[in-house]
Amino acid sequence: MQISSRFTIAVHVLICIETFKNDYKVTSDFLASSVNVNPVIIRRLLQQLKKAGIVSVTRGSGGTDIEKPLDKITLFDIYDAVECVEDSGLFHFHENPSQLCPVGKNIHSILDSRLEQIQRAMEQEMKSVTIQNVMDDAQKLIASK
């Protein structure tokens, strides 16, 4: 599978922004310390989220805010915004299957439509989960610790 860590980092970032927005200036450095990555990675990700209309970013040490209600942002919106999947799709085929083998020369015909169907089902499920759902889970866990 080809989903990169950008997706989970983006969700992590949104939960941090919402959790700490009233107590701290939520900057890329602040977010990077929670995710434990270089702030440059966070800045690139925030730019992708900004381009999708999900966050606003104030340059310098201004901080970051979420632009939409959490119940209007789905996991699919995040997935789509951070371009987690290459144009070729979620599943990557091995290169050059043998054209001399009856399985090798037909593997794309055998699997392509099924894999596309699986990807569509996953994306549909992602559309049913909002960042508010994830935030509710996060708040319960944070409160119980």
pLDDT digits (tens, 9 = 90+) for 65-77: 999 999 999 999 9
pLDDT reported for residue 30: 95
pLDDT reported for residue 86: 61
- What range defines the domain where residue 26 resides? 5-144
Segment (H or E) for 57 = strand 55-58
User: What tokens were used for 23?
Assistant: 């107590």
Distance CA 66, CA 51 (A): 12
Residue pair 14/131 in contact (Cβ under 8 Å)? The answer is yes
- The greatest distance separating any two alpha carbons of the chain, rounded to the nearest whole angstrom, comes to 64
Instruction: Give pLDDT < 50 ranges for the chain.
Output: 1
When divided into structural domains, the chain yields a total of 1
User: Which residue type, as a one-letter code, is found at position 117?
Assistant: Q
CATH number of the structural domain spanning residue 25? 1.10.10.10
